[in-house]
A and B are shown apart, each in its own frame.
Chain A
Amino acid sequence: DAGVIQSPRHEVTEMGQEVTLRCKPISGHDYLFWYRQTMMRGLELLIYFNNNVPIDDSGMPEDRFSAKMPNASFSTLKIQPSEPRDSAVYFCASRRSAGQPQHFGDGTRLSIL
């Protein structure tokens, strides 16, 4: 079975540019999560969706970050404008229903110069 698919795997861009990270959850999973991992803060939940609707975005650091889920098989996390402190590994995860374990993608390693 295909797991959670994230793209790109690596992204290097200059400060001020718009960055778009993409995620395809596992088919049939109703929940989708976006996490960020840094050495300083560890793994943090940014936002999650249930049936394409954002449920909790309290972890989104600021207005420069936005996430959408236009349909059940696709989500994006956008940073505009990007800053060097946004450099991190961004993970997407999905799960079938409440109480089920989350399944993670292999992440996007983002570097903002």
Chain B
Amino acid sequence: DAKTTQPPSMDCAEGRAANLPCNHSTISGNEYVYWYRQIHSQGPQYIIHGLKNNETNEMASLIITEDRKSSTLILPHATLRDTAVYYCIVRPRDNTDKLIFGTGTRLQVFP
């Protein structure tokens, strides 16, 4: 399974874009990049996933580099409620049973 590396913490001003990086240099061709977040005292929440094309939904955008060795989750207008731990997970598309949550990035959005 591809290993991911994320910075332990980041800060972002409210209203600004939050760009959370993830390195997955050993990703294989059939593996997707998934992003989840965990707000304090809640269960993890699915955000977005992608294979090689950039993806966007109502929560965020996912930018994957052309060589697929890294990606960036973008929260375009961060709010205080986006303060959470963000997890980048790499899994085969047909085997997302065993999600392996690393230590993630703790994003603090400040006023």
Contact = CB atoms under 8 A, between A and B. Distances in A.
Contacts of A70: none
Interface in B55-111: 93-99, 101-103
Interface size, A (range)? 20 to 34
Interface stretch (B10-18, B20-28, B44-52): B44-52
Contacts, number: 46
B101 A56 contact: no
Nearest to B42: A106
Contacts of B96: 95, 98-102
Contact of B43 (A56, A101, A107): A107
Interface in A86-110: 91, 93, 95, 98-107
Interface in A25-67: 31, 33, 42-43, 45, 48, 55-56
Contact of A104 (B45, B49, B98, B102): B45
A43 B34 contact: no
A102 B42 contact: no
B94 A103 contact: no
A4 interface: yes
A40 to B, nearest CB: 12
B43 A42 contact: no
